[in-house]
Structure 1
Amino acid sequence: MTTRFARGAQVIATLAVAAVAFTGCAGSSDPGPDDAGTELNFVTFTGGDAGIKYENLIAAFEDANPGVKVRLEILAGDDTYNSILTSRIAAGTAPDVFEVLNNDTSQFVEADLLADLSDQSWVEHQIDTVRNLADQSDGRTYSFVPEVNSGGVFYNTDIFEEVGVEVPETWDEFLDVVETIRAAGITPLSVGGKDGWTLQTQWTQMMRASSNPEEGALLNSGELAYSESTTAAIMPAFAELVAAGGFDPNATGVDWPSSANDFALGRTAMMIQGTVALPAIRTAAPDGPFSMFPMPFAAEGKDAPLALAPAATQAVPANAAHQELAKRFLEFWASPEVHTKYLNDAAALSSFTTSASADIDPAFETMSELLPTRGIDIAGFVRPTPAVNTAIQTGMQSIMVGTATADEVLESIDAAQQQQ
């Protein structure tokens, strides 16, 4: 393992339960005698650096299955992706395994195009958030979800210890931490305010920590105005954070890569981001003293949740030429040691209760421990339209530079909502 995992000395107990339940040991998938010379076709839209997780997985599977090859086919992840796959499945030229665009299998399930995976050994070891996905509504499992992503607050553990603050559980505690860090002469939060999406990431995390699917459906349909929902509390709270000195005064002139670098090098104490930001942080600071905590913006009296998004969802076509081998490929992928290596490559949280390793990145240790009890599915939550997204981003930038109030921003968001 690389040095970035050297600090992860302990196994996370909450993820170690039933690790031996999978058939076989990690790295072995008991290849059948007829598999030699077989080529498994794996289709994805994930390439480049992000695709390293698949390349390493495939190499391990081929090592464990002499004579079997996995052909990785990368298609454009655009509007043509689903139609290409649907056509290939209908024509009898389906891949054996494919990554599902936007983690949404509904189109394929409704058309009865996917193999039923319910009898696979890994199914019972999925965390509840994954087990409750829509594609299991008929009591069957049609997809393999190898990872989940979550939002949270990255923080520098050395800085927290130096200034004498603890991980906050509430918004008021978070503001207190910000003020203490600021008083110590350290910028509390990194944010690439020049890139509006980084600010919306903060809004989204605050929304997921405090909203609910029922309200989300009304907001998405336009039946409920943003200013009349629980999301109305986000902009005033963000304005409080700005007023407390949470960000550098010039943060709206800083882009995302620079902000990640500032946090990684200890120039700031925290960064509100998703787990997917870890590679950018580790590139600059492979052994940096980092951890994460959930966004502390929960409804009063409730613990801050981990809003989880399934990622890298895989499916097997019902007419795949090598369906049984494809299922063994997924079994291999789910085996504890193989899966943990995959998670480290993917910089993601586990979708199973069985993936445990002393080599997990320490930045994810706390989040992984909280995941079984605080993980919630984001399906059904607020999904702003492009116009609302723009209003949120420009509005937060305006609050940061002092050209708009929280109420004015809310008015602009409501106006954008009416454009749908």
Structure 2
Amino acid sequence: MVNRVRRLSLATVALTSAALVIAGCSSTPDGGAAAEDKVITWTNYQGGDANAKYKEVIAAFEKANPGWTVEQQNLAGDGTYSKIVTSQIQANKAPDLVDVMVADIPAMVDAGMLTDLSDESWAARQLPAVESYAESTTGGSTYALVTGLDVIGVYYNKDLFNDAGVEVPTDWPSFETAVKTFRSDGITPLALGGKDGWPINVQMQLMAANLLAGTAEPDELTSGETPYVDSVAWNEVLDDAIGLVADQAYDPNVLGIDWPTSAADFAAGKSAMLIMGSFGLPAIRQANEEMNLGMFALPYGDSGSPRAAVGYGTFIAVPTNATQSEGAKKFLDFLTSDEEYPSFLKAAAQFPSLEGAPFEAFDESATEIAKTVQSDSFEYNSSGGLNNAAVQAIASQQFQSLFNGTGSPRSVLEAFDTAIAQAK
């Protein structure tokens, strides 16, 4: 929604104040302020197309609640955002709703800046994978709504699978068999934008998270307490990644292909699968709207059945000194209601963060994996590696070395350990 900034002259402010005094500042039935003041302010870092997903739900909220309006302030999502929001709250000029970075939540909670939302009806319905953020950041209390989930998995060309007689893999051996089958048929098994680096990071992090989610090792690796060279999980991931290279799972020129080209090649039927997050869907559909597309959870690890890796969408919190805190909670209840949540998720192209939430697939590819998200999902950022800034800075280059034959699992992991040590 386009921000609506009310510009009142000093004279208007004076007249309004006088009118309120005369009227006795009447309250609303739900305990809010008078009708003239029933404005929910919302500071976020998602402008333009990224913010369009809120347009319909805000309009629906205002229609269903006459007298209430929602005004958004869109700030740049750069390094200054958190400082600006913190300053607003500290200066007692807090918005009623605020998008928060998950890394900022612990400090903001310790400083008493955010309202505990654990008793809200939607909080009791959070998926286990979503509750894990609360457990790891605040000891279990919920201080923000995770509006929806991105899913990181394997996009696949259903037509190519049918033509090759390949079933959706349910374990790593069957995934490797699928790779060999497509290669023998002259089809590149896995599209990958190796030139850009980050798509390789997505695959490596997904594989590692499958092994490390729910263990203590991610924090130990991130802090440097456990050396990467001693990580059984990461050694296994890199060994298997080299195995995929040896099986010719990728285009021979994989390090010369960027992300947009890999998405276009996949959409054109030049490759059978693409490991990517749901955030990569627009690039695929832009290249081929009619593609018979599916998505399955990467069957890696020993969980017994494939689990869906999820990434958190936006975190929306209510500052403790918000003027319209009850109105803010009212809006979050409205957004997560069974009547409104499905249409919001469709506009956001995300999956539900709440158990049992109705879901209208934003794309046919989302239908299959949505069931796995609800039944068995885990946090994608559980890899214990790319969460460390020092490792992030060198990860792409190190992973690329496995593809051109200049690196080994040990050399990659030693480089990670050196980077962490130097950053201290």
TM class, shorter-length? 0.7 to 0.9
SS at match of 1:53: helix
- The AA in structure 2 aligned to 1:220 is T
The one-character-per-residue Cα deviations of 1:214-246 (angstroms, maximum 9, x if unpaired) are 111221222222121111112221111111111
Deviation (angstroms), 1:382 = 0.6
Partner of residue 318 from structure 2, selected from 313, 316, 319: 316
Report the counterpart of residue 234 of structure 1 in structure 2: 237
Report the counterpart of residue 278 of structure 1 in structure 2: 281
- The AA in structure 2 aligned to 1:318 is T
Partners of 2:382 and 2:197 lie apart in 1 by 24
Partner of residue 375 from structure 2, selected from 373, 376, 380: 373
Deviation (angstroms), 1:132 = 3.8
**Residues 77 and 101, structure 1, Cα contact 8 Å, conserved in 2:** no
- The AA in structure 2 aligned to 1:108 is M
SS at match of 2:295: strand
Partners of 2:185 and 2:34 lie apart in 1 by 67
The one-character-per-residue Cα deviations of 1:247-266 (angstroms, maximum 9, x if unpaired) are 11112111111211222232
Structure 1 pair 139–151 and aligned structure 2 pair: CA distance change class (3 A): closer
- The AA in structure 2 aligned to 1:147 is G
Report the counterpart of residue 10 of structure 2 in structure 1: none
Partners of 2:79 and 2:58 lie apart in 1 by 27
- The AA in structure 1 aligned to 2:357 is S
Superposed CA RMSD: 2.5
Deviation (angstroms), 1:308 = 2.5
Report the counterpart of residue 399 of structure 1 in structure 2: 402
Give matches, 1:23-62, under 5 Å: 34-35=34-35, 38-62=38-62
Deviation (angstroms), 1:31 = 12
Partners of 1:395 and 1:131 lie apart in 2 by 33
Matched, 1:343 2:345: yes
Give matches, 1:3-402, under 5 Å: 34-35=34-35, 38-102=38-102, 104-134=104-134, 137=138, 140-212=141-213, 213-229=215-231, 230-299=233-302, 302-378=304-380, 381-384=383-386, 385-402=388-405
Partners of 2:140 and 2:390 lie apart in 1 by 37
Deviation (angstroms), 1:33 = 9.8
Deviation (angstroms), 1:94 = 0.8
Deviation (angstroms), 1:124 = 2.1
Deviation (angstroms), 1:32 = 8.0
- The AA in structure 1 aligned to 2:243 is E
> Which structure 2 residue ranges, 5 or more long, are not aligned?
1-29
Partners of 2:383 and 2:317 lie apart in 1 by 24
The one-character-per-residue Cα deviations of 1:15-37 (angstroms, maximum 9, x if unpaired) are xxxxxxxxxxxxxxx99895466
Q: TM-score, normalised by structure 2?
A: 0.84
- The AA in structure 2 aligned to 1:75 is L
- The AA in structure 2 aligned to 1:79 is G
Aligned residue pairs, count: 390
Partners of 2:329 and 2:72 lie apart in 1 by 16
The one-character-per-residue Cα deviations of 1:5-54 (angstroms, maximum 9, x if unpaired) are xxxxxxxxxxxxxxxxxxxxxxxxx9989546632211111122222112
Higher relative contact order (CA 8 A, sep 6+): 1
SS at match of 2:384: coil
Partners of 1:340 and 1:291 lie apart in 2 by 20
**Residues 391 and 409, structure 1, Cα contact 8 Å, conserved in 2:** no
The one-character-per-residue Cα deviations of 1:300-357 (angstroms, maximum 9, x if unpaired) are x633332333220100111211111111111111012421122122222110123324
**Residues 385 and 391, structure 2, Cα contact 8 Å, conserved in 1:** no
**Residues 160 and 166, structure 1, Cα contact 8 Å, conserved in 2:** yes
Which range moved further: 379-388 or 76-85?
379-388
- The AA in structure 1 aligned to 2:340 is V
Partners of 1:56 and 1:282 lie apart in 2 by 23
Structure 1 pair 34–162 and aligned structure 2 pair: CA distance change class (3 A): farther
Partners of 1:92 and 1:358 lie apart in 2 by 40
SS at match of 1:42: strand
Structure 1 pair 131–102 and aligned structure 2 pair: CA distance change class (3 A): closer
Partners of 2:320 and 2:369 lie apart in 1 by 36
Structure 1 pair 117–174 and aligned structure 2 pair: CA distance change class (3 A): same
Indicate the percent of aligned positions where both proteins have the same amino acid: 37
- The AA in structure 2 aligned to 1:98 is V
Deviation (angstroms), 1:282 = 2.3
The one-character-per-residue Cα deviations of 1:40-76 (angstroms, maximum 9, x if unpaired) are 2111111222221123332332333344332211112
Structure 1 pair 31–62 and aligned structure 2 pair: CA distance change class (3 A): farther
Q: TM-score, normalised by structure 1?
A: 0.85
> Which structure 1 residue ranges, 5 or more long, are not aligned?
1-29
Partners of 2:31 and 2:50 lie apart in 1 by 28
**Residues 307 and 377, structure 1, Cα contact 8 Å, conserved in 2:** yes
Report the counterpart of residue 6 of structure 1 in structure 2: none
Structure 1 pair 138–94 and aligned structure 2 pair: CA distance change class (3 A): same
Partners of 2:90 and 2:374 lie apart in 1 by 39
Partners of 2:347 and 2:211 lie apart in 1 by 31
**Residues 39 and 68, structure 1, Cα contact 8 Å, conserved in 2:** yes
